């Protein structure tokens, strides 16, 4: 049955739904307590918030298109007004307070990724500097150093990242997010010290030391992907048992704002390298480059982030005590103390298509992300008067980073928009990257000539923008978001690892084919990523993560078909899941009853744990998970509590007090 056949616009609304017969559908004497007007309002506020439901109780995705656009636009405008009002109030008290807020909520959560972006982006830049300063070792005609070890620098970097992504993903779900965060920071700090001090009695020895130092550092970098994504998703806003408006409206933005620190890391690395080289190379940007200038430039470029990483070790150790809170709560509900192997098996059974989507699209994206470098060297040769100058290449790279940052920020502002959101953003991003590569592939000679070079350059920048305003940002978010809490870091780490396999494929493949052939090969990964997104990726835009966790509990209990909530709404399922019938159980009326029943069962469990005497002594106490009104309603309607004589017949719910 279709969603609207269950519910429709003229279907039963919250106020018309009676309280169901017990937590498991059993018939008891609670039938005497139908929902009155005030109680309907109380439960509607909790189970059908006004940012996702109309006043009539219709979920936004059940609305006809025109009404959906109006509703979503109205909610977004209201949220924007509230945010602007809050910012203005903050500025009146302290003009710099919005900056400190941004630092706490975006810079600090994404600091690890920022440092990662700084260092890994530096590796490619430094390779060009090494080739200019030590051509006998790093150049194309090197005689002193083994070419395999020079290539191994890149390979070991990617392999280290892949290992870190898998291992720390498992550790994050096994030991906890906090330990993963601390461990990553320590590994990256030690790795930076190793890179800064890397040395050898010969150039070949130095290359080997440098390569293994980078490998060690990269293990920590790899761990940053799953651990930063999951900890950002499970931050204090969503750590409580009740859902929040902030989580539903801005969860994607919060994670993406942390992720875009990777772009800022690249930006600061490029600026610092330009400044250092200008200082130590006698103020010249062009060749020749002295060995002393190269030494000071690369060692100081690693020493600066080491200071920031040491601070990150301190902050994560002493200032993030609750990073594992939501994971601990999820494990306590299923009495799991170590790694949740059962959850992992259930993930493959129930969410295998999602894993294919997150891992497969990340793989396709990393081929593109690496392939973006194909453009730059070609148009620099044509457009620049001094193409052999590192300053020229680095300056153009800096421009490209700024364009990429614009893409990051555009993604963060639109990724939560219900009319666009994650899935459309990723599909359009893949398609635009496909176009930007396939067009020059079949007219390469024209676009790499002076006549077409500016068009070539424009496509280069557009591919950078849409890569960030598309798959690069979305893959990072959804690889953790579409999976349940107990295996979220593992699934994210696996997806990221397979993604890096795409970068490894590109780095190896590009050594054996010429530039035009690379342009023939790369575009089709864009179409493949677009297809995987369309078929296998669910759209979690606007979906409350608490609702997804609720569905997961039904799956764990073997009652998947009994779940009727919005987590199985066709809007939030992939085409593959809909074909397999996952959306058939969606029923807003039954879901309303289940939500109230689930809340009642939880409330009664708390009361039973206290015992009759404690319940009586604290009958005016209201648990933090429940509003006073809901607390009072459950007291009135619970036969177990009423039989204790705690309450008289009348409950005054407005103030949450009893008479």
In b/e form, how buried is each residue of 109-119, taking b as 16+ CB within 10 angstroms? bbbbbbbbbbb
Task: Identify whether residues 562 and 518 lie together within a single domain.
Answer: no
- Alpha-carbon span 578 to 580, nearest angstrom: 5
Question: What is the per-residue pLDDT for 98?
Answer: 92
**Contact at 8 Å (CB) between 72 and 418?**
yes
Of the listed ranges 79-93, 222-236, 363-377, 529-543, the least confidently predicted one is: 363-377
26 Cβ contact list (under 8 Å, min separation 6) = none
The percentage of the chain sitting over the pLDDT mark of 70, rounded to a whole number, equals: 84
Question: What is the per-residue pLDDT for 164?
Answer: 94
The answer to the question of residue 65 being in a domain is: no
- Alpha-carbon span 246 to 255, nearest angstrom: 12
Task: Identify whether residues 523 and 584 lie together within a single domain.
Answer: no
The two tokens of residue 223 are 């761990």
Task: Identify whether residues 335 and 280 lie together within a single domain.
Answer: yes
pLDDT in tens, 447-500: 988 888 889 889 999 999 999 999 999 999 999 899 998 999 999 999 999 999
- In whole angstroms, what separates CA 390 from the centre of its chain? 34
Q: Per this entry, what is the length of the chain? A: 659
Task: Identify whether residues 465 and 407 lie together within a single domain.
Answer: yes
| pLDDT band with cut points at 50, 70 and 90 for residue 639 | low
pLDDT in tens, 251-289: 999 999 999 999 999 999 999 999 999 999 876 666 788
**In total, how many domains does the chain have?**
2
Question: What is the per-residue pLDDT for 237?
Answer: 44
615-633: average pLDDT: 59
The answer to the question of residue 96 being in a domain is: no
| pLDDT band with cut points at 50, 70 and 90 for residue 622 | very low
- Can you name the residues that pair with 657 across neighbouring β-strands? 652
The two tokens of residue 237 are 């806003």
pLDDT in tens, 546-599: 899 899 989 988 899 999 999 999 999 999 999 999 999 999 988 988 888 888
Q: Which of 480, 503, 536 is the last residue of a domain?
A: 536
Task: Identify whether residues 179 and 41 lie together within a single domain.
Answer: no
148-168: average pLDDT: 92
What is the C-alpha end-to-end distance of the chain, expressed in Å? 46
Q: How many CB atoms lie within 10 A of CB 80?
A: 10
Q: Which of 480, 514, 536 is the last residue of a domain?
A: 536
- Residue 653 pLDDT more than 80? no
**Contact at 8 Å (CB) between 33 and 637?**
yes
- Kindly state the greatest CA–CA separation across the chain: 94
Task: Identify whether residues 43 and 163 lie together within a single domain.
Answer: no
Task: Identify whether residues 39 and 110 lie together within a single domain.
Answer: no
The answer to the question of residue 287 being in a domain is: yes
Task: Identify whether residues 344 and 375 lie together within a single domain.
Answer: yes
The answer to the question of residue 93 being in a domain is: no
- In whole angstroms, what separates CA 579 from the centre of its chain? 27
User: pTM score, two decimals?
Assistant: 0.85
The answer to the question of residue 252 being in a domain is: yes
The answer to the question of residue 84 being in a domain is: no
Question: What is the per-residue pLDDT for 654?
Answer: 39
Task: Identify whether residues 219 and 114 lie together within a single domain.
Answer: yes
- Residue 16 pLDDT more than 60? no
171 Cβ contact list (under 8 Å, min separation 6) = 179, 180, 183, 223, 489
- The helix (run of H) or strand (run of E) holding residue 651 is strand 651-652
- Residue 39 pLDDT more than 90? no
Q: What DSSP state is assigned to residue 470?
A: I
Find tokens 């809007």 and name the residue.
571
- Alpha-carbon span 324 to 179, nearest angstrom: 8
Task: Identify whether residues 347 and 367 lie together within a single domain.
Answer: yes
In terms of residue numbers, what domain contains 34?
3-60+544-658
Q: Which of 514, 536, 558 is the last residue of a domain?
A: 536
Task: Identify whether residues 382 and 483 lie together within a single domain.
Answer: yes
- Residue 133 pLDDT more than 60? yes
386 Cβ contact list (under 8 Å, min separation 6) = 286, 392
The answer to the question of residue 92 being in a domain is: no
Assign residue 299 the CATH number of its domain.
Answer: 1.20.1250.20
239-244: average pLDDT: 52
Q: Would you say the C-alpha torsion 526, 381, 408, 227 has a positive or negative sign?
A: positive
The answer to the question of residue 387 being in a domain is: yes
More confident call, 301 vs 12? 301
- Residue 209 pLDDT more than 90? yes
- Residue 65 pLDDT more than 90? yes
SS (H, E, C) 571-617: HHCCHHHHHCCHHHHCCHHHHHHHHHHHHHHHHHHHHHHHCHHHHHH
The percentage of the chain sitting over the pLDDT mark of 90, rounded to a whole number, equals: 51
Task: Identify whether residues 562 and 513 lie together within a single domain.
Answer: no
- Residue 7 pLDDT more than 90? no
């Amino acid at each position: 049955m279709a969603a609207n056949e269950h519910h429709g616009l003229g279907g039963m609304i919250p106020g018309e739904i009676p309280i169901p017969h017990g937590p498991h559908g059993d018939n008891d004497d609670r039938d005497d307590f139908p929902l009155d007007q005030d109680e309907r309002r109380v439960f509607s506020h909790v189970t059908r918030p006004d940012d996702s439901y109309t006043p009539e109780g219709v979920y936004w995705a059940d609305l006809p298109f025109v009404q959906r656009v109006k509703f979503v636009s109205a909610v977004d405008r209201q949220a924007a007004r509230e945010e602007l009002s809050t910012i203005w109030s903050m500025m009146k008290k302290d003009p710099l307070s919005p900056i400190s807020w941004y630092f706490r909520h975006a810079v600090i959560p994404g600091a690890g990724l920022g440092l990662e972006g700084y260092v890994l982006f530096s590796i490619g830049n430094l390779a060009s500097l090494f080739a200019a300063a030590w051509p006998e070792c790093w150049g194309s005609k090197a005689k002193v150093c083994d070419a395999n070890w020079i290539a191994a620098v890149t390979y070991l970097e990617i392999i280290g990242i892949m290992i870190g992504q898998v291992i720390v993903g498992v550790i994050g779900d096994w030991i906890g997010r906090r330990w993963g965060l601390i461990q990553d920071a320590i590994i990256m700090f030690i790795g930076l010290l190793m890179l800064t001090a890397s040395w050898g009695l010969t150039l070949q020895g130095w290359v080997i030391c440098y390569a293994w130092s980078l490998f060690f550092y990269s293990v920590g970098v790899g761990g940053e992907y799953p651990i930063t994504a999951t900890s950002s998703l499970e931050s204090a806003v969503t750590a409580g048992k009740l859902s929040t408006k902030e989580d539903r409206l801005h969860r994607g933005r919060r994670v993406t704002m942390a992720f875009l620190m990777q772009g800022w890391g690249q930006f600061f690395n490029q600026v610092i390298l330009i400044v250092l080289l200008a200082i130590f190379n006698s103020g010249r940007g062009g060749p020749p480059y002295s060995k002393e200038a190269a030494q000071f430039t690369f060692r100081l470029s690693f020493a600066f982030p080491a200071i920031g990483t040491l601070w990150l070790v301190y902050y994560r150790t002493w200032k993030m005590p609750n990073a594992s809170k939501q994971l601990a709560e999820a494990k306590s509900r299923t009495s799991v103390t170590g790694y949740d192997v059962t959850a992992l098996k259930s993930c493959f059974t129930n969410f295998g298509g999602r894993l294919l989507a997150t891992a497969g699209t990340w793989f396709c994206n990393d081929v593109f992300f690496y392939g973006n470098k194909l453009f730059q060297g070609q148009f620099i040769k044509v457009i620049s008067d001094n193409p052999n100058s590192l300053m020229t290449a680095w300056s153009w790279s800096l421009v490209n980073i700024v364009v990429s940052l614009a893409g990051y920020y555009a993604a963060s502002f639109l990724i939560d928009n219900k009319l666009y959101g994650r899935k459309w953003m990723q599909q359009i991003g893949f398609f635009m990257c496909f176009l930007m590569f396939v067009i020059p592939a079949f007219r390469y000679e024209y676009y790499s000539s002076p006549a077409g070079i500016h068009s070539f350059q424009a496509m280069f920048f557009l591919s950078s923008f849409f890569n960030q305003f598309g798959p690069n940002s979305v893959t990072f978010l959804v690889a953790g978001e579409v999976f349940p809490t107990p295996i979220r870091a593992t699934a994210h780490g696996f997806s990221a690892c397979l993604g890096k396999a795409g970068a490894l494929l590109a780095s190896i493949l590009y050594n054996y084919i010429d530039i035009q052939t690379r342009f023939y090969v790369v575009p089709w990964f864009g179409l493949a990523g677009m297809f995987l997104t369309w078929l296998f990726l669910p759209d979690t835009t606007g979906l409350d993560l608490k609702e997804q966790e609720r569905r997961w509990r039904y799956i764990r209990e073997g009652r998947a078909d009994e779940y009727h909530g919005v987590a199985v709404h066709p809007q939030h399922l992939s085409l593959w899941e809909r074909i397999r019938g996952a959306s058939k159980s969606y029923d807003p009326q039954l879901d309303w009853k289940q939500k109230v029943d689930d809340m009642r069962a939880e409330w009664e469990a708390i009361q039973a744990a206290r015992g009759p005497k404690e319940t009586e002594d604290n009958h005016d106490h209201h648990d933090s998970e429940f509003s006073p009104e809901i607390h009072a309603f459950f007291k009135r309607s619970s036969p177990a509590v009423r039989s204790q004589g705690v309450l008289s017949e009348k409950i005054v719910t407005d103030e949450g007090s009893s008479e």
